[in-house]
């Protein structure tokens, strides 16, 4: 196996460097650039047939310079569709639960300092009952390969979809500056079938 493109320690350090570099780039976007980016993505998002047909949409609250999902969440609510947010699984390390999210949901801060709905088993939505999982990412490449923050949470969430094609459609959301030519991927990485940025709808 080619150590540079699969698996080896060289791959790990390249991935770490890329995470660092791209996170700094998106953190450097000004509030005005963030606002314009979010508006542009919203305009595309609302036109997607998969989104218009969806009733149960998982998304996430932005942090670390990520594209602002706030306007998307408001639009989904206004359409009368259901919004779900990821919550760190309380026992199963590395796994996410998706909880129904409403404007008045009680929130708490998780171990990464990200707000999440307070855990309530009645609000848990099984992943296979979601229609779309809007997926955060740090970097993506020409083939839809995805680099996350390094926890592997979405690789686990999407692995069943990746293996069987059943379950919710993943849709990556990102700034244009998060695109790179080629990402060194690992066996467990789940490539995304579609990614929305302010200037393009990439799909494979
Ligand atoms: N489906 C999976 N099952 C078990 N472990 C996984 C799975 N997906 C990812 N992991 C583990 O999660 C860790 C982080 O994955 P990585 O792809 O580097 O993070 P990210 O996707 O957040 O960039 C890796 O050590 C990997 O072994
Ligand atoms: Mg991964």
Atom of ligand 1 nearest to the CA of 154: 21
- The verdict on residue 41 lying in a domain is yes
> Is 82 within 8 Å of 57 (Cβ atoms)?
yes
Q: What is the pLDDT of residue 5?
A: 52
Q: What is the pLDDT of residue 11?
A: 85
- The verdict on residue 3 lying in a domain is no
- The verdict on residue 77 lying in a domain is yes
CA 129 distance to own-chain centroid: 18
- The verdict on residue 21 lying in a domain is yes
- The verdict on residue 4 lying in a domain is no
Scored b (16 or more CB within 10 A) or e, 70-93 reads: ebbbeebeeeebbbbbbbbeeeee
CA of 97 to the centre of ligand 1 (A): 16
Please name the residue whose Cα sits nearest to atom 14 of ligand 1: 152
- The verdict on residue 61 lying in a domain is yes
Please name the residue whose Cα sits nearest to atom 3 of ligand 1: 156
- The verdict on residue 80 lying in a domain is yes
The enclosing domain of 79 has a CATH number of: 3.40.50.10420
Q: Which residues of the chain fall short of a pLDDT of 70?
A: 1-6
CA of 150 to the centre of ligand 2 (A): 7
Number of domains within the chain: 1
Q: What is the pLDDT of residue 80?
A: 98
Domain range enclosing 118: 9-203
Q: Which residues, judged by CB distance below 6 Å to any ligand atom, belong to the binding site of ligand 1?
A: 147-152, 155-156, 159, 186, 188-189
**Could you give the dihedral angle defined by the CA atoms of residues 153, 159, 165 and 171, in that order, rounded to the nearest 10 degrees?**
20
- The verdict on residue 71 lying in a domain is yes
Give the mutation target among 153, 188, 190 for probing the ligand 1 site: most ligand atoms within 8 A of CB: 188
CA of 150 to the centre of ligand 1 (A): 7
Please name the residue whose Cα sits nearest to atom 12 of ligand 1: 152
Q: What is the pLDDT of residue 2?
A: 44
Atom of ligand 1 nearest to the CA of 12: 18
Percent share of the chain, pLDDT over 90: 94
């Amino acid at each position: 196996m080619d150590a540079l493109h699969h698996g080896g320690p060289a791959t790990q350090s390249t991935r770490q460097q890329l995470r660092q570099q791209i996170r700094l780039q998106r953190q450097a976007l000004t509030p005005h650039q963030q606002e314009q980016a979010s508006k542009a993505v919203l305009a595309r998002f609302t036109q997607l047939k998969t989104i218009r047909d969806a009733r149960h949409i998982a998304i996430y609250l932005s942090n670390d310079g990520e594209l602002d999902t706030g306007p998307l969440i408001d639009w989904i609510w206004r359409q009368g569709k259901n919004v779900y947010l990821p919550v760190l699984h309380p026992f199963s390390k590395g796994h996410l639960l998706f909880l129904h999210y409403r404007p008045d949901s009680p929130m708490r801060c998780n171990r990464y300092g990200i707000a999440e709905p307070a855990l309530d088993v009645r609000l848990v939505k099984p992943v296979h009952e979601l229609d779309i999982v809007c997926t955060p990412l740090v970097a993506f490449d020409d083939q839809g390969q995805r680099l996350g923050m390094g926890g592997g949470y979405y690789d686990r969430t999407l692995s069943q979809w990746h293996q069987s094609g059943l379950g919710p459609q993943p849709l990556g959301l990102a700034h244009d500056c998060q695109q790179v030519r080629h990402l060194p991927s690992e066996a467990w990485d789940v490539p995304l079938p579609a990614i929305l940025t302010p200037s393009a709808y990439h799909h494979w």
